[in-house]
Amino acid sequence: MAKNDLIGGSLWEQYSAKVSERMNDPRHRGEISEAEAKALGARLVVADWGAEACGDAVRLYWAVDPKTDRILAAKFKSFGCGTAIASSDMMAELSVGKTVDQALEITNIEVERSLRDNADTPAIPPQKMHCSVMAYDVIKKAASVYKGVDMASLVEEDIVCECARVGLRTIKDVIRINDLKTVEEITQYTKAGAFCKSCLRPGGHEKRKYYLVDILRDTRMAMEQEKLFAQADAADFAAKNLIQKHRAIEKALDEKIRPALAADGGSLEVVDIREADGKVNIYIRYLGACKGCVSSTKGTLQFIENMLHQELAENIRVIPV
């Protein structure tokens, strides 16, 4: 990369042909009037997102069929750079034909991928990713207008970056979806922290409830943990350590045993797990109606043991205490 980086590329050279094409001649530019929506038998939805002072603002027009919630037509207007225009254009295109709920599933990542000339080359440089996030946000806004609900019910109310109006969930999503590792990347993708910088880390311009450094650390930690759990869950029962075995046993009990016991007003808890002589001994205590039930040492016990043999391993022995 160094050789290519040294003379510095123009941002514009990194745009895909599709991006350039839509910057020069956006297919869905313009507006939908009340009369046009009416002619389609549709309800007009208009949503604004962003602000001039932030450098990006977009307005989305949808004609939505009120019977099917289907988006029959979409147009946009934009105060934004070429990338914002191209992303808004693609976003509008992707939303046509979908229901409002389906449109809510469109992410900025999908918008960017749809703008690629080939699958492996990003359509826009990373510094420009935030422009496609705008397209993602305005859909949520439009859906909230259509549904007559507060946008907060569709997006998080926890705004992390006031300047760019970026919320906690968006930031966590962007970290997860794009596997972001630095605060700078979060800023590139979402614009959070690009303005007054207060939300980057404590000690800035003003005090904030959330800081990007903390969100990044916590989210990365959660991702790391989930990865470990996923790996542990995937491993063979015999190869698991005691804690992982406990998790697997609890999971199997939750899924296969406890619902059946609960139907009769009972339950059980795991008291101990001990490994000895090639066996896994699970000590359980019956709760509720199971306590003192005649079957609890015979049929029910057999049922539990069989199920665990089937789900986890043959060498499991269940011992009521």
Partner 1 sequence: MNRIYLDNNATTIVDPRVKEAMEPFFCQQYGNPNSLHSFGTETHPAMRLAMDRLYAGIGAGDEDDIIINSCACEGNNHVLKSVYFDLIRNGPKSEIVTTQVEHPCVLNCCAFLESLGAKVKYMPVNSDGTVDGETLRQHIHPDRTALVSVMWANNETGLVFPVQELAEICRKNGILFHSDAVQAIGKVSVDLGRVPVDFLTFSAHKFHGPKGVGGLFIRKGLKLTPLLHGGEQMSGKRAGTVNVPYLIGMGLAMEMAVDNLAYEDSSVRRLRDRLEDAILAIPDTMVVGKRKLRTPNTILASFRGIEGEAMIWDLNANGVAASTGSACASESLEPNPTFVAMGISDDLAHTSIRFSLSRFSTAEEIDQAAEVIRQSAQRLREISSTYKNDK
**3-class secondary structure, 37:** helix
Q: Which residues, 154 to 193, sit near partner 1 by CB under 8 A?
A: 191
Spatial distance between the Cα atoms of 29 and 85, rounded to a whole number of angstroms: 9
Out of 40, 122, 195, 293, point to the residue binding partner 1 (CB under 8 A). 195
Give the total of residues touching partner 1 (CB under 8 A): 34
Nearest CA among 42, 142, 36 for reference residue 88: 142
Out of 44, 45, 58, 175, point to the residue binding partner 1 (CB under 8 A). 58
Out of 22, 37, 42, 82, point to the residue binding partner 1 (CB under 8 A). 82
Out of 40, 81, 223, 313, point to the residue binding partner 1 (CB under 8 A). 81
Spatial distance between the Cα atoms of 312 and 237, rounded to a whole number of angstroms: 6
Cβ closer to partner 1: 12 or 229?
12
Q: With binding defined as CB under 8 A, does residue 52 bind partner 1?
A: yes
Question: What minimum distance in Å lies between the beta carbon of 180 and partner 1?
Answer: 18
Q: With binding defined as CB under 8 A, does residue 26 bind partner 1?
A: yes
Question: What minimum distance in Å lies between the beta carbon of 243 and partner 1?
Answer: 46
Quick check: 216 and 201 in contact, CB under 8 A?
no
Q: With binding defined as CB under 8 A, does residue 36 bind partner 1?
A: no
Out of 74, 84, 94, 290, point to the residue binding partner 1 (CB under 8 A). 84
Q: With binding defined as CB under 8 A, does residue 72 bind partner 1?
A: no
Which tokens is 229 given?
A: 């759990």
Cβ closer to partner 1: 27 or 217?
27
**3-class secondary structure, 41:** coil
Out of 73, 94, 128, 175, point to the residue binding partner 1 (CB under 8 A). 128
Strands 316-320 and 56-65: unpaired
Counting other chains too, the contacts that 164-171 makes at CB distance below 8 Å and 24 or more residues apart are 164/54, 164/130, 164/190, 164/191, 164/192, 164/193, 164/194, 164/195, 165/50, 165/137, 166/133, 166/190, 166/191, 166/192, 168/210, 168/215, 170/133, 170/137, 171/212, 171/215, 171/219
Q: Which residues, 221 to 280, sit near partner 1 by CB under 8 A?
A: none
How many residues are present in the chain?
321
Q: For residue 219, what are the contacts with CB-CB under 8 A and spacing of at least 6? A: 171, 172, 175, 176
Q: With binding defined as CB under 8 A, does residue 29 bind partner 1?
A: yes
Q: With binding defined as CB under 8 A, does residue 123 bind partner 1?
A: no
Residues 81, 131, 196, 290: which is the catalytic one? 131
Q: Which residues are catalytic?
A: 54, 131
Residues of the shown chain interacting with partner 1 in the complex, contacts defined by CB under 8 A: 11-12, 23-24, 26, 29-30, 48, 51-59, 76-82, 84-85, 125, 127-128, 131, 191, 194-196
